[in-house]
Structure 1
Amino acid sequence: MKLSLTAAAAASLIACVALPASAQTTLTIGTVNNSDMIRMQKLTPEFEKAHPDIKINWVTLEENILRQRVTTDIATGGGQFDIMTIGTYEVPIWAKQGWLKPLDKLGADYDEKDLIPAIHSALSNDGKLYAAPFYAEGVLTLYRKDLFEKAGLTMPEKPTWDFIAEAAEKITDKSAGVYGICLRGKPGWGENMAFLGNMAREFGANFFDANWQPQFESEGWKKAVSLYVDLMTKYGPPGAASNGFNENLQLFGQGKCGMWMDASVAASFVTDPKQSQVPDKVGFAPAPCGTDSCPNDGFNWLWAWNLAIPNSSKKVEAAQTFIAWATSKEYLDLVAKQDGWANVPPGTRTSLYKNPEYIKAAPFAEATLNAIQHADPSPTKDKPYYGLEFAAIPEFQGIGTAVGQQMAAALSGSSTVDQALKQSQAIATREMQRGGYLKR
């Protein structure tokens, strides 16, 4: 009898000891391998310390691979992730499909109204928030002030592509390993096509006209892609067709790029002495204008990386708890404490741009906010879709990536510009016909 009682007591004790482990919730988060998300992973122990009942499992992937993985998972209800890092492209489409959980339990102190209106609108459907922005961006022209001064150049308040071409020629010094211009070349709808779609629009072109007819053989696309290939062939780094955002970020930080037109989020990294060899030599200007008449700061992109919960997740409460922490004003304070105000994730909260400590520490703050506020993704008479660097339709991801491969071929010299655009037109037309947007 004593043995039975002892065994029973031991079993009870084991159950009590094991209870915390069995009660702990593990959240699997699929994310992109950029610097801000890597920093979040390093700060995750702070969250786990405050929430010992929640454990975070990170799955970090290169941007193109992440998109493939999360798109396949959510479309099939695979349930691999409890939280996904997705962009402004996916949110409205997936919310309408019923693939995302609404973020309706972020807490009373989350201050949803503090989110920058353009970003909040891009992440909402029927008045409900379906993703929370971790950082947001427009487009900036980053340039080396020292190289401009040496060449006798002054960056205009509203640069044109004609000026950019002139400057690229004058500041290129290949013998010293300095290239006049670095632009995205890696194929992908969120890589080279994010940039080229923006550049083509600066010459009056879009992906589609108001009737969903692809426009890749239009004069605007020909001008944009011809100039892009010419600039990168003459003044860009070798192997440019393999360079995406991260590769160009590294090149600029190493002092090898004289100019770089890309996401405004890059500004904090290239001005950080811990990550850049030219932190005090960087200037900021709007994205270049393709034509004399275009409103320069209007040709922009509006993008945010966001945390969202797939409908397949069974851990919604814990997931919302993490998202509320990771996209809160308190998280910005934590990053500032750890790495300085200049390194906090930009572009999401109005209060950040009223914070004197941030304004003082971030010389790019005003330029970034201006870029975001002047990026209008709304439909116009010329295009029937939301989005600037993308068309917010399910078919765009495949079209954009296929066209991106054609653009990379033109950049690498394995195809001509005309051949690449002709093939792109054929690919896009075929896919739009299959999608029912165009008659065969």
Structure 2
Amino acid sequence: MDHSPYRTTERGGDVGVRRTLTVGIAALVTASLALAGCSSSDDSGSGDGGSKKLTVWLMTGSAPDTLVDEINTDFTKSHSGWTVDYQVQQWDGIQDKLKTSLAGNNPPDIVELGNTQAPLFVDSNALADLSGKKNDLNGGNWLDGLAATGEKDGKTYATPFYAANRIVVYRKSMFAKAGITAPPKTIDEFIAAGQKLKTSYASDKQFQALYLPGQSWYTLLSWVWANGGDVAKDEGGKWTGTLDSPEAQKGFEDYAKVYKALSKAPVDQDEANPQQSTVFAKGHVAMFIGLPWEIGTATAPDGGDPKLKDDIGTFEIPGPTGPAPVFLGGSNLAVAAGSKNVDAATDWLKLMLSDKYQKELAANGVVPALTNLGDTIYGDNEAAKVMAAAATNGGKVTPVTPAWAAVEAGTNPIKNAMTKVLRGTDVATASKEASTSITETMGKAS
């Protein structure tokens, strides 16, 4: 993810993972388990001189310290003599650190993984099989899109932790001036609202009804999925790019239609260059499509405008006939295959995935791992409510395979195709080039 509670690249989304890394992890883990006598679920030792210590690695910004402290207290109360070594990790460089640590003789017992990192570690046999413990971990209520990233061949190796997804952020005062009384639900309504905004602010030459960069490819995915398309499909273990399907091409067409009608953002940049929430804060933009953390950036004293706090509203990304599916960025939790404390680690996970603590996590402004908690958990946080509704109504993820990370690494063919379309290349040509690149890249990485 983008490295903050809701920033994603997407909690592993823009990390470059090559086949050599997958093979390297698998080899290291295999060797390590052989030397260590393989994993054990006996809670009598932790690999640290026989002491009862559970080591937990969570990423920076993922959970409030107060929440983790509560869980650790509950855990130690019910596990006499045990302690919890809780360590906060940084996203920068975490993949290599996990590769080394999970393959060692004394790995952390519990680790957090970005949801697009998870398939890599699942595939490399670095994680313990939690399938038999799924019911104890509230598995019947897991968020499907996030749960899928921790599964392989019908087995569960990583649980959901929390998710975040994109929504439309807008200026209430601008909508009121333009006479827009209800958030648009379809693309046609979206464009119509934008045209009203353009008319109302015609005297402002810098005005944009919607700040939509040409390479905001996670937004493109929403419209590809809304039209029934996808980025790739698995055919007998071989992944093939599918952005050139008629359905996916319609997603490109919808993106281009919205961009050309409402946006003046660069066609060859994404939402981070420049940071779109900072652009929004300057007062010449009515809407942008982003993650809830970007509201905080837009209203921060440093680089934003604190006066916007009471003027911001949110709604789900419109699709052809209603709200569009969204990309679920987020994190998973897993137990190391080499852990000597699998049972104790599972007990800790039970606490984190309980209704009680997932409610507390949701109050921090993220979509929880569980779908049975209702809307009241978000209090008066409108953005969180909208985000959660979008996640449960149509949350999806990119292909669940280690090979996908190679597509996002380096030059992203989806971004290139988007820029080409906005500069005049026909959708069929641009989408075919992207699909071919995806097929070739995933094939090499498999």
Q: TM-score range by the shorter chain?
A: 0.5 to 0.7
Question: Offset of 1:251 from its aligned partner?
Answer: 5.7
Q: Which residue in the other structure is 1:140 paired with? A: 167
Q: Which residue of 2 aligns with 1:346?
A: 367
Match of 1:243 among 272, 276, 280: 272
Asked if 1:390 is matched to 2:427, the reply is no
Deviation of 1:174 after TM superposition, in Å, equals 11
Of 223, 230, 247, the residue aligned with 1:199 is: 223
Q: Is the 8 A contact 1:134 1:304 kept in 2?
A: yes
Q: Which letter maps to 1:29?
A: W
1:424 aligns with 2:445: no
Pick from 365, 381, 396 the counterpart of residue 362 of structure 1. 381
1:10 aligns to what?
Answer: none
Q: Residue type matched to 1:429 in 2?
A: T
The one of 330, 334, 341 equivalent to 1:308 is 334
- Distance change in 2, residues 1:413/1:71 (3 Å): farther
- Structure 2 CA distance for partners of 1:288 and 1:216, relative to 1, 3 Å: same
- Letter of the 1:153 counterpart: I
Deviation digits for residues 315-359 of structure 1 (CA, Å, limit 9, x no counterpart): 5455445434444333356568xxxx4x3533433443164xx36
- CA, structure 1 residues 127+26, in 2 after alignment: closer, same or farther (shift >3 Å)? same
Q: Does 1:25 align with 2:53?
A: yes
CA contact (8 A) 1:28 1:59 kept: no
Q: Which has the higher contact order (CA 8 A, sep 6+)?
A: 2
Distance in structure 2 (CA, Å) of the matches to 1:296 and 1:236 = 25
Q: 2:289 aligns with which of 261, 276, 293?
A: 261
Q: Distance in 2 between matches of 1:161 and 1:76?
A: 52
Unaligned runs of 5+ in 1: 1-19, 187-191, 377-387
CA distance in 1, matches of 2:188, 2:100: 41
Structure with the bigger percentage of helix: 1
* Deviation (angstroms), 1:398: 0.9
**Contact 1:101–1:308, Cα closer than 8 Å, also in 2:** yes
Instruction: Provide the C-alpha distance between the structure 1 equivalents of 2:315 and 2:424, rounded to a whole number of angstroms.
Output: 31
Greater CA deviation, 52-61 or 254-263? Answer: 254-263
State the AA in 2 paired with 1:131.
A
5 Å-filtered alignment, 1:114-263, equals 114-116=141-143, 123=150, 129-160=156-187, 163-164=190-191, 167=194, 170=198, 179-183=208-212, 192-203=216-227, 205-208=229-232, 213-217=240-244, 219-220=249-250, 222-224=252-254, 226-227=256-257, 230=260, 234-236=263-265, 240-241=269-270, 243=272, 247-248=275-276, 257-263=285-291
Higher mean displacement: 220-229 or 145-154: 220-229
TM-score (norm 1): 0.63
Q: Which amino acid aligns with 1:258?
A: A
Q: Which runs of 5+ in 2 are unaligned?
A: 1-47, 77-81
Superposition deviation, residue 148 in structure 1: 1.1
1:25-59 alpha-carbon deviations (Å, 9 max, x no partner)? 3736263x5x5x1x534654455556472222221
The structure 2 residue matched to 1:280, chosen from 310, 314, 338, is 310
Q: Distance in 2 between matches of 1:237 and 1:225?
A: 14
Specify the alignment match of 1:399 in structure 2: 407
1:147-187 C-alpha deviation (Å, 9 max, x unpaired): 1112223444523067348617627799798754345778x
Q: Does 1:328 align with 2:349?
A: no
Partner Cα separation in structure 2 for residue 266 and residue 324 of structure 1: 28
Cα–Cα, structure 1 residues 165 and 346, in superposed 2: closer, same or farther, change >3 Å?
same
Larger radius of gyration: 1
CA distance in 1, matches of 2:283, 2:314: 16
Do the aligned residues in 1 keep the contact of 2:366 with 2:384 (CA within 8 Å)? Answer: no
Distance in 2 of aligned mates of 1:61 and 1:86: 10
319 and 279 in structure 1: CA distance in 2 versus 1, 3 angstrom threshold: farther
Aligned length: 380
Shift of 1:303: 4.5
* Partner residue of 2:391 out of 372, 382, 395: 372
Q: CA RMSD in A?
A: 5.1
Letter in 2 for 1:56: Y
Partners of 1:142 and 1:259 within 8 A in 2:
yes
Residues 129/296 of structure 1: CA separation in 2 closer, same or farther (3 Å cut): same
Change (3 A) 1:119 1:420: closer
Residues 109 and 432 of structure 1, relative CA distance in 2, 3 Å threshold: closer
Indicate the residue corresponding to 2:12 in structure 1.
none
Instruction: Provide the identity percentage.
Output: 19
Change (3 A) 1:23 1:99: closer
Q: Within the alignment, does 1:59 sit opposite 2:59 as a pair?
A: no
Distance of 1:181 and 1:197 partners within structure 2: 18
Aligned partner of 1:380 in structure 2 is none
Match of 1:296, SS state, is coil
